[in-house]
Structure formats: C-alpha cells, structure tokens
C-alpha cells in the first residue's frame, strides 16, 4: 500500500491502543467483528465459508445498519450451501474467477484399512523424492464416540517408521514454530484440520485425511489444496471406514471448487436463504434449489424477461 495509507492488523492477540478511526485500512481476523468499527466504504471477507452463523450475523449488521452502506465483497473457493443457493436464486451479485495461477495435478483416492500397507509405501516413496506428507487426524486425543485413531494414538507408528516427523494441532502454543521447522527440514507432519489454512509448503505432495466422511466438502477441498502448490504432482487420500461413500467418490472426481460447492448443496441442502439462521439442510417444503434447478431457471428467465427453453410457444 502507498505510504500515506495508514493500515493496522487486528487479531485476538494484537494490542491496538489507537482508535480504529485513525486508520484507513484495517486487516484482521474474526476479532475485527467484536471491535467498535468506524464507518467504512468497503468490507471484504476472505474464506467466506469458514464463518459461522453468529459471525455472519455480525457481518450483516456491519454492512447494513450503518449510516453508510459499504460495498460488501465475499471470497470463497467453495461457497457453503446457503450461499450457493443465494447465487443460483439471483439473491446476490456474483463473479467467477475460473483461471488458476497454475494448473494443479492432484490425484484423489478413497481408501480404507485394506490399503494401509500401500499408503505407507507411497509415503516412503514420496519422502525419498524429498517431498513432504501430512496425516490429518480427526482428534488430538482418544474418543469413545469416534471410531478412528487420534493423533496421540497414531503418532507412535509414524514416529517409529519415519524420520523427521513433526506433530501439532490447533491448541498447540508452539504451532507456528513447529510448522516452520517442518517446512524447512521435516518429512511427515501429524496434525488436525488446523493445516487447512496457513503456511505455504512448496514440497508438500501428499495429504491423508483420516475419517474423511466426517468433514464437509469445503474443508476437504481446502485440505487437498495444500498439496501441489508449485506444480508438484499431488496426492490426496481420503481414509474412511465406510464400505462406500458416494459423496467422497464424487468429490474425488473433480478439482473444481464450484462443482464441489454444488455437490455440497446437493448432499446438505441449501438451508435458509432468507434469514440465514440455517446454513444447510431443508428449509422450504415444496422447493429445493439444489434439486429443482429447471424450475429455478424458468423463474429466473421470467423475472429477467427472457424466454426459457422450457416454455413452448404455440
């Protein structure tokens, strides 16, 4: 930014003593939503799909209840079902950026316990090429509710059979330092979904997601996107105890974030597109955006004054 633009970073840990009205440009995490913010001309939200209902409510108040109505731009590679429903219903203006900065070559495979030996061999082969791998576990500690190993249960195997193994998770106070150390000299990282965003790992070629069926497709897409960042051949393994998962199989067949968002809408339903209190699931009794696409197209064409191919002229 130009020197005359006064900017500030606001996070939960930052200690900003000045009044925020003194700044022209504010960058921050969710912590910004809990501050007394000045009038602004533009509000931009990245990773829109990661905001919960309460945070979306605060954002809505920020952009609609002020004397100035700021421009409001949201960014997401995989919109949540409600947002996609709003796009398809023409309730919001939208633009698609379909050009990737570089093509990604990622193979995605749904695997189970019977494939574990082959998975270990694959990881050994990738590390021999000086590539890195991540194993994402659903939990840090053992649980009687979830039928998958936790980090603490599984780390022993990896530490025994591999060198350069690093372990971290969301509440780890040394998380940033561990990720930096792994980036420089690690082979295998054992973690949770905390690695969905954050540090860039140019040597990362493989990610294994344990209990993949427990995660939303947006999270799976974000995790998979950690590999092949610099054109490296990438691999994503979706480890599941399910005998079959149509949802995971469909996900494995595409790298297109918008197609994945449409799949998410199909399987989770669109929620409440009017009030926003429900981000997924069924709200309307007689109409669902995800399954009644032709009816939606017909309604949109009539509103816009164009002729739908469904309408037969006499």
Sorted by where each begins, the domain ranges of the chain are 7-88, 106-254
Whole-number pLDDT of residue 247: 94
Q: Residue 40 and residue 23: Cα distance in Å, rounded?
A: 11
Q: What is the mean pLDDT of the chain?
A: 82
Is the pLDDT score of 159 beyond 80?
A: yes
**Nearest Cα to Cα of residue 224 among 248, 243, 188, 244:** 248
Q: Residue 196 and residue 47: Cα distance in Å, rounded?
A: 11
Domain 106-254 classification at class level: alpha beta
Rg (CA), the chain: 22
Is the pLDDT score of 202 beyond 70?
A: yes
Q: What is the pTM of this model?
A: 0.74
Q: At 278, is the pLDDT very low, low, confident or very high (cuts 50, 70, 90)? A: very low
Other CB atoms within a 10 A radius of the CB of residue 32 amount to 19
Place of tokens 């996107």: 225
Q: What is the pLDDT of residues 215-273, one digit of tens each?
A: 988 889 989 999 988 888 999 999 999 999 999 999 999 998 888 888 887 886 544 44
Q: At 31, is the pLDDT very low, low, confident or very high (cuts 50, 70, 90)? A: confident
């Amino acid at each position: 930014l130009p020197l005359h633009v006064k900017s500030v970073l606001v996070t939960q840990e930052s200690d900003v003593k000045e009044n925020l009205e003194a700044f022209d440009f504010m960058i921050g995490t969710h912590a910004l939503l809990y501050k007394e913010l000045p009038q602004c001309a533009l509000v931009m939200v990245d990773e829109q799909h990661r905001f919960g209902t309460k945070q979306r409510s605060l954002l809505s108040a920020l952009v609609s209840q002020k004397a100035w109505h700021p421009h409001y731009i949201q960014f997401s590679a995989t919109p949540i079902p409600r947002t996609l429903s709003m796009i398809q219903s023409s309730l919001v203006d939208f633009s698609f950026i379909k050009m990737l900065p570089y093509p990604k070559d990622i193979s995605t495979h749904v695997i189970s316990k019977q494939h574990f030996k082959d998975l270990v061999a694959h990881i050994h082969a990738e590390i021999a090429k000086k590539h890195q791998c991540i194993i994402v576990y659903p939990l840090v500690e053992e649980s009687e509710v979830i039928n998958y190993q936790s980090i603490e249960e599984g780390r022993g195997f990896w530490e025994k059979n591999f060198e350069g193994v690093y372990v971290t998770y969301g509440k780890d106070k040394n998380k940033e330092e561990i990720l930096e150390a792994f980036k420089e000299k690690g082979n295998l990282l054992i973690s949770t979904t905390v690695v969905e965003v954050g540090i860039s790992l140019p040597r990362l070629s493989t990610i294994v997601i344990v209990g993949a069926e427990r995660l939303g497709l947006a999270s799976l897409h974000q995790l998979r996107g950690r590999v092949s960042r610099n054109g490296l051949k990438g691999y994503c393994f979706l480890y599941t105890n399910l005998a079959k998962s149509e949802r995971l199989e469909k996900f494995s067949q595409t790298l297109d974030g918008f197609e994945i968002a449409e799949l998410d809408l199909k399987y989770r339903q669109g929620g409440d597109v009017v009030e926003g209190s429900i981000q997924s699931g069924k709200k309307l009794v007689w109409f669902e955006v995800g399954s009644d696409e032709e009816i939606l197209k017909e309604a949109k064409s009539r509103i816009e004054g164009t002729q739908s191919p469904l309408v037969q002229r006499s």
